[in-house]
Amino acid sequence: MTGPYSGCEPKLPPPNAESRIPAKWLPACLACAVGLALVALRTIAGATPAERTSVNVLVKDAETDQPIYQARLTLRFQEPRRFKRSKSFSFSAKTNAQGRYRFTLIPKGTVRLTVTAEHHQTFSKEFEVDQDNEVLEVKLKPPQPLL
């Protein structure tokens, strides 16, 4: 190569037996790579299926006991961590005509459910979700009168 950059090519030593991984180390290296891949997948995927569940929410009017259609639901979960800051997840949805919504694949543990609906007070409470297909029933009160 000629020009201003001639002679700047990296000089790499030719491959030889000393620059390769010894054959006796290959099983250990492979096991280490598989272990790192599993840790990475666990970190990305979060909780395993056994640590997840469904949460069924039913929203009713506290005075009439009628279901509330299109109530806005927010389910927050904070994943505890030992060495890093906690990781927070949030799931949002609206209720159907029967005042119901089913959240799926929710991590088991403490969740905060917040419910808002027109002409009703906002509801927010922590629940311990530790059983499969947990049902959370919420009764929304009418709004406070303005003073």
57: containing domain: 49-140
CATH of the domain at 97: 2.60.40.1120
User: Which stretches of 3-145 are DSSP H helices?
Assistant: 26-45
| Whole-number Å distance between alpha carbons of 147 and 144 | 9
Residue 34 lies in a domain: no
pTM above 0.85, yes or no: no
The string of DSSP letters for 53-69 reads: EEEEEEEEETTT--B-T
Helix (H) or strand (E) holding 92: strand 87-94
In a domain, 31, yes or no: no
A 10 A CB-CB count for 37 gives: 10
Query: Which residue in 143, 59, 42 sits closest to 98, CA to CA?
Result: 59
Query: Distance between the two ends of the chain, CA-based, in angstroms?
Result: 86
How many domains are contained in the chain? 1
Residue-by-residue pLDDT tens, the chain, 147 positions: 565 656 656 565 665 555 566 667 667 666 666 555 555 444 434 556 568 899 999 999 999 999 999 999 999 988 766 677 777 889 999 999 999 999 998 888 899 999 999 999 999 999 999 888 999 999 999 998 887
Calculate the dihedral angle through the C-alpha atoms of 21, 26, 30, 36, rounding to the nearest 10 degrees. -50
